[in-house]
């Protein structure tokens, strides 16, 4: 279509403006060549009813299948190498009291450099996946008073998030930004990073920090098509493990409005804890371009295939009913199918064939179990004891957790992933095209051609 339009334009220009013909045609073809939208659908994802599509919601139907980078930017001691504290808040306070803030920051940088490296993104892509969910801990970017950690240029330091997004993109993986540990804690549980109450809902300071954090993330990533969406809060509840209530919904709405003022394009993901009816119909809130997410864990008799099958069938049936009622896509942000190959094969196949999007919990886990795509063969001796290990010992131990040397692939999980996604021609991002630049280029071509 563009080639035909160009030919018409060139013929007309030749008779009217021969002196500027070459300059105009060169400019036109420069725009054509440099604007991917002219030739390919944009990687930028948006919601279309119960589907997710590329090209800002008007392109092909896209399905996201992936895993979480759990235990990386925030320790969960059951799955990552930390002992002496049950949560990240207590661990950092103990370490800071022993060694000082900057020494602790150096320790964590050593751990972060080891736990996830470039090869991990390659492993994820080769397992037939096209997405990662990236858990984020607020205290890696701002302190408890809301003061930001800055880089050498004085800008807010989001370099670790940017590195992960860019590495994922290199291997054809979308990234979902997941706020796993909010200021003050969104549920008071160990996996939120802090365990002395869900202080977020009773503390305006923490609520303001939460909004500022998401405003900052939205500002930094608003034009980045390699970011699939923003998962606002991981498993939020005022009465965890009880279901979430109105305080969560009010925060969701506040965050939605704050993000939309900056970023009108990215998908916003809201988690229902624990069931669909804890979230309102998005039309009632005027929420657009949103995805609803649930986490599925079957704790009892999880070695029994029949029990797991019945759970999977029930989850899918409810997702189809409520997804249709709310007219939103269904994203399973966390789950594991526990004990056996049969459960994993059946569960992933059913989730995939019925149109759900999913990310397993989690990519790598200590111990031999079916939680992780990669496991340690046995308990690694490099687990840090924050009470007794000295500074150099902690730094050494936390440098010894890269996947190729200390983990092995879990065929039960990886094979099930490959079977479920085989032949599905998954959409993969290729460049971090920006909504702004693409739309502007399209407008420029329209102006020139017309």
**Does residue 443 belong to any structural domain of this protein?**
no
Rounded mean pLDDT, 136-152: 97
Residue 229 contacts residue 158 (beta carbons within 8 Å): no
Range of the domain at 366: 63-426
- The pLDDT of residue 10: 31
**Does residue 56 belong to any structural domain of this protein?**
no
Per-residue pLDDT at 2 exceeds 50: no
Cα dihedral: 432, 118, 267, 159 (round 10): -80
DSSP secondary structure letters along 189-212: SGGGT--S--GGGG-HHHHHHHHH
Q: What is the band of 131 on the pLDDT scale with cuts at 50, 70, 90?
A: very high
Three-class secondary structure of residue 83 per DSSP: strand
Other CB atoms within 10 Å distance of the CB of residue 197: 15
Rounded mean pLDDT, 318-322: 98
Any idea how long the chain is?
A: 450
Whether the full predicted model's pTM is greater than 0.95, yes or no, is no
CA distance 132 to 226: 11
Over residues 13-44, the pLDDT tens digits come to: 333 333 443 333 333 322 332 333 333 459 99
**Does residue 189 belong to any structural domain of this protein?**
yes
**Does residue 435 belong to any structural domain of this protein?**
no
Helix, strand, coil content of the chain in percent (nearest 5):
45, 15, 40
CA distance 177 to 268: 10
- Could you give the percent of the chain with pLDDT greater than 70? 86
**Does residue 431 belong to any structural domain of this protein?**
no
Rounded mean pLDDT, 291-311: 93
**Does residue 122 belong to any structural domain of this protein?**
yes
**Does residue 26 belong to any structural domain of this protein?**
no
- The pLDDT of residue 165: 98
Q: What is the CATH number of the domain that holds 313?
A: 3.20.20.80
Question: Positive or negative CA dihedral for 197, 201, 205, 211?
Answer: positive
Residue 24 contacts residue 17 (beta carbons within 8 Å): yes
DSSP secondary structure letters along 221-251: HTT-TTEEEEE--SS--TTTTSPP-HHHHHH
Residue whose structure tokens are 């809201």:
270
CA nearest to 298, candidates 311, 281, 285: 311
Over residues 171-191, the pLDDT tens digits come to: 999 999 999 999 999 999 999
Strands 174-181 and 227-231: parallel
Domain count, the chain: 1
Question: Positive or negative CA dihedral for 181, 171, 65, 223?
Answer: positive
**Does residue 54 belong to any structural domain of this protein?**
no
Strand partners, 229: 176, 267
- The token duo for 336 is 């594991």
Residue 253 contacts residue 207 (beta carbons within 8 Å): no
Q: What is the band of 235 on the pLDDT scale with cuts at 50, 70, 90?
A: very high
């Amino acid at each position: 279509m563009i080639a035909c339009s160009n030919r018409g334009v060139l013929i007309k220009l030749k008779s009217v403006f021969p002196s500027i013909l070459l300059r105009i045609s060169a400019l036109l073809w420069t725009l054509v060549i440099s604007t991917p939208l002219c030739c390919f659908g944009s990687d930028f994802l948006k919601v279309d009813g119960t589907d997710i599509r590329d090209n800002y919601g008007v392109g092909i139907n896209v399905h996201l299948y992936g895993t979480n980078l759990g235990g990386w930017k925030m320790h969960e001691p059951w799955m990552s190498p930390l002992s002496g504290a049950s949560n990240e808040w207590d661990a950092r306070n103990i370490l800071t009291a022993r060694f000082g803030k900057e020494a602790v920051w150096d320790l964590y940088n050593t751990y972060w450099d080891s736990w996830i490296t470039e090869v991990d993104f390659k492993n994820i892509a080769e397992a037939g996946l096209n997405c990662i969910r990236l858990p984020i801990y607020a205290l890696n970017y701002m302190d408890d008073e809301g003061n930001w950690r800055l880089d050498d240029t004085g800008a807010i330091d989001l370099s670790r998030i940017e590195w992960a997004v860019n590495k994922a993109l290199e291997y054809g993986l979308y990234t979902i930004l997941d706020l796993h540990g909010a200021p003050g804690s969104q549920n008071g549980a160990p996996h939120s990073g802090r365990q002395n109450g869900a202080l977020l809902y009773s503390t305006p300071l923490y609520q303001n920090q939460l909004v500022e954090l998401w405003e900052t993330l939205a500002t930094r990533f608003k034009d980045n098509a390699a970011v699939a969406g923003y998962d606002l809060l991981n498993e939020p509840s005022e009465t965890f493990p009880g279901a979430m209530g109105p305080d969560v919904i009010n925060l969701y709405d506040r965050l939605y409005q704050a993000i939309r003022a900056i970023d009108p394009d990215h998908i916003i993901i809201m988690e229902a804890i624990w069931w669909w009816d804890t979230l309102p119909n998005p039309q009632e809130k005027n929420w657009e371009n949103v995805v609803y997410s649930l986490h599925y864990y079957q704790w009892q008799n999880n070695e029994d295939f029949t029990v797991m099958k019945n759970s999977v069938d029930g989850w899918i049936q409810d997702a189809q009913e409520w997804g249709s009622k709310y007219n939103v896509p269904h994203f399973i942000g966390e789950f594991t199918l526990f004990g056996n190959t049969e459960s994993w094969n059946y569960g992933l196949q059913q989730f995939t064939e019925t149109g759900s999007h999913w990310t397993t919990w989690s990519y790598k886990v200590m111990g031999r179990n079916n939680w992780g795509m990669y496991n340690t063969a046995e308990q690694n001796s490099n687990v840090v004891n924050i009470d007794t290990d000295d500074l150099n010992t902690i730094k050494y131990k936390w440098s010894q957790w890269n996947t190729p040397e200390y983990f092995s692939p879990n065929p039960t999980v990886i094979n099930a992933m490959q079977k479920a996604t085989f032949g599905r021609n998954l959409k993969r991002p290729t460049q971090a095209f920006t909504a702004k630049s693409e739309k502007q280029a399209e407008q420029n071509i329209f102006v020139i051609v017309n």
